[in-house]
Amino acid sequence: MEFRSGESANPRKRPHPAEDENDNDGGMATAAEGFFEALSEAGVTHCFVNLGSDHPAMLEAMIKAKQENSSKFPTIITCPSELVALSAALGYAQVTGIPQCVIVHVDCGTLAMGQSIHNASVGRVPVLCFAGLSPFTQNGELLGSRTEFIHWLQDVPDQAAIVRQYCRYSGEIKTGRNIKEMVYRALHFALSDSKGPVYLTAAREVLEQHVDRRFLGEETLSPIVPSALPESDVEFIATTLMNAKKPLVITGYLGRNPQAPPLLAELCDKLPIDVLESVGSDMSMRTDHEAYLGVTVTTHPAVCEADVILILDCDVPWIPTAGKPQKGTTVFHLDVDPLKQQMPLFSINATRRLKVSCEIALRQLNAFIDKKGIERTSYTIAFEARANRYLRWRQDLRALESPSQDGAIRVPYLASRLRYHLPNDAVYLVEAVSNAGLIIQHLNLTQPGTLVGSGAGGLGWGGGAALGVKLAKPGAFVCAIVGDGTFLFSQMESVYWIARRYDLPFLLVVLNNGGWNAPKVSALLVHQDGFSSRSNRRDLNISFEPSPDYPGIATAAGTAWGITVKEQDRLDSAIQEAANVVRGGKCAVVDVSVPSIWTED
């Protein structure tokens, strides 16, 4: 959904603050009702809620709206876990672009959102988080005054400080008279690049306040419009790419905008450019395009060989300690957030650094090249070399997908079987950490929007996000692929309860390698020949032996169907049966034993 300035109805004329609220020609409403109306009018469709003693006015508003069959009220989704609530809101917003709302309980609920607020911020996902505050009166001076002992214990000096560094905006609603203005102000920040979470609070007394509806006029949602490249930079960048010997594009989250990947492919049809995906949080380039180099989480060799690098919406294009561009390489950085304002340390030696919409920029570059009327034949040798390189790479990938001789289920083979059994337009959520790159490359996805990743570092996103994606795309086949570690982070008992309650069937594939691989990788990158290199995972305290019953957890929490697969010859039938279960309206979990990258004693 694209928000344009001035879409909403003209705001109603507001009464003067001094006017008597008893003279209520427009009727009365509580501030809580105004809050939900503002969300609905702004296009927010769902509130993922975990309610508490700060929400009596909201509970009243919910029931009133239901009884009156109000058309200006978001759908409420009950979430026993705040982490899952925000993860679900993120999944929904990531595939639609429409911000969603999460309502949690004072400071404790804010804390319980945990790493998901990091994911919202780093992943640049628009979401509005609301939490109540302890009442600010204690003797019954106002409706909503303190009535329970917990109101003293949860009264903290600066509740918003818990999440402020992750938010694009945080604010306290201090009167019901401007509650819609506050909601819209928050959403303007959430929807303006660089997008992200916003946080609002209000005390019970404020939410209970009865307000003349003339104060609750409809606002205008008008986030900042994305920018285009200056014409001089269009010519400079396009000409430099046209004259390059080894041009390279590096992208990370370009595919969050589904209009952008086809434009990147179009650019690569015109010029012999290679495309590298860093981390792989979205499908930014068709994997069947000969320009595609794959996914990396470190410095790819192409970075050190390129003479021109165009970075498009990417947080970590390379890691200097693992390799960096050669001296004299021309680097252009086009991004919704080229300064990485949330990162204290970030440095790229770029010739030009531009805050733009990469979709718009790609349209401009393609149009300029078309206008120049270049001859494709002048790049014949480069195009042939690129095609041959891609063919060899794809052949190597197919070889890795062959069945193993020892019967073990290796990740490339597993990805190939998912690709075979699941629909071509299935939406994959990947939170497989050390196996993510392999999974993405072997799924061989070609359609924008078919890959969703958190784009961040807070593990435990996958389960809740799958709920949000399925809610946003009820007709899609949704498959989440997680590691055993990320399964345990995800609070799956809440995930599967929600899935059952709201009929949100999806397939979950657990890559069960018996523990965390990533911490040992990190240790070896620092201490290659240290004690860690000679230790097994149990001694390093990163082993999950004995393995939990992952399908059993899902079955107990939400009556999901599940199976554990340890032998290669049972994998096809398990995936096929699981897919049929999901098509039949029920969640399915396939726990697949995959080899660890470490040889254990």
Rounded Cα–Cα distance for residues 240 and 165 (Å): 38
How many separate domains does the chain show? Answer: 3
Residues 556, 473 contacting (CB under 8 angstroms): no
Question: Is 430 in the same domain as 492?
Answer: yes
Q: Which amino acid is at 510?
A: V
- 333 CB-side CA count, 13 A: 19
Question: Is 381 in the same domain as 467?
Answer: no
CA torsion, ordered 50, 54, 59, 64, to nearest 10 deg:
-140
Sign of CA dihedral 470, 473, 477, 480: negative
Give the closest residue to 261 by CA, choosing from 368, 362, 371, 124. Answer: 362
> Domain for residue 324, yes or no?
yes
How far, in Å, are 191, 193, 253, 422, 590 from residue 360 at the CA level?
17, 14, 15, 34, 41
Rounded Cα–Cα distance for residues 577 and 590 (Å): 10
Question: Is 295 in the same domain as 341?
Answer: yes
Q: What is the pLDDT of residue 482?
A: 97
How far, in Å, are 71, 402, 403, 569 from residue 399 at the CA level?
55, 6, 9, 18
Helix (H, G, I), strand (E, B) or coil at 558: helix
> Domain for residue 138, yes or no?
yes
Residues of the chain scoring pLDDT < 70: 1-26, 598-601
**Unique residue bearing structure tokens 């000679």:** 534
> Domain for residue 277, yes or no?
yes
Give the closest residue to 495 by CA, choosing from 480, 473, 475. Answer: 480
Question: Is 416 in the same domain as 520?
Answer: yes
Q: Residue length, the chain? A: 601
Sign of CA dihedral 247, 252, 255, 259: negative
CATH code for position 383: 3.40.50.1220
Q: What is the pLDDT of residue 590?
A: 99
Question: Is 418 in the same domain as 334?
Answer: no
Question: Is 340 in the same domain as 442?
Answer: no
Rounded Cα–Cα distance for residues 108 and 105 (Å): 6
b/e for 58-82, b at 16 or more Cβ within 10 A? beebbebbeeeeeeebbebbebebb
Question: Is 260 in the same domain as 336?
Answer: yes
Non-local (6+) Cβ contacts of 15 within 8 A are 212, 214, 215
How far, in Å, are 170, 395, 537 from residue 518 at the CA level?
34, 28, 11
CATH code for position 134: 3.40.50.970
**Unique residue bearing structure tokens 């860093």:** 278
> Domain for residue 4, yes or no?
no
Question: Is 210 in the same domain as 235?
Answer: no
Look over the chain and give the mean of its residue pLDDT values, rounded to a whole number: 93
Rounded Cα–Cα distance for residues 163 and 249 (Å): 34
Q: Are strands 46-49 and 210-212 parallel, antiparallel or unpaired?
A: unpaired
> Domain for residue 225, yes or no?
no
Question: Is 192 in the same domain as 259?
Answer: no
> Domain for residue 11, yes or no?
no
Non-local (6+) Cβ contacts of 513 within 8 A are 435, 483, 484, 593, 594, 595, 596, 597
DSSP category for residue 529? T
Looking at 363, 392, 421, the residue that finishes a domain is 392
Q: What is the pLDDT of residue 193?
A: 94
Question: Is 49 in the same domain as 136?
Answer: yes
> Domain for residue 14, yes or no?
no
Peptide bond into 546 cis (omega under 30): yes
Looking at 361, 392, 423, the residue that finishes a domain is 392
Non-local (6+) Cβ contacts of 108 within 8 A are 52, 154
| Sequential DSSP letters for 242-283 | HH-SSEEEEESSGGGSTTHHHHHHHHHHHS--EEEEES-SB-
Non-local (6+) Cβ contacts of 304 within 8 A are 323, 324, 325, 326
Looking at 185, 215, 245, the residue that finishes a domain is 215
Residue 35: which domain range?
28-215
How far, in Å, are 15, 92, 414, 548, 584 from residue 560 at the CA level?
55, 22, 21, 16, 12
Non-local (6+) Cβ contacts of 335 within 8 A are 311, 312, 313, 314, 354, 355, 356, 358
Rounded Cα–Cα distance for residues 38 and 130 (Å): 13
Sign of CA dihedral 262, 268, 271, 273: positive
> Domain for residue 6, yes or no?
no
Question: Is 547 in the same domain as 513?
Answer: yes
Question: Is 294 in the same domain as 315?
Answer: yes
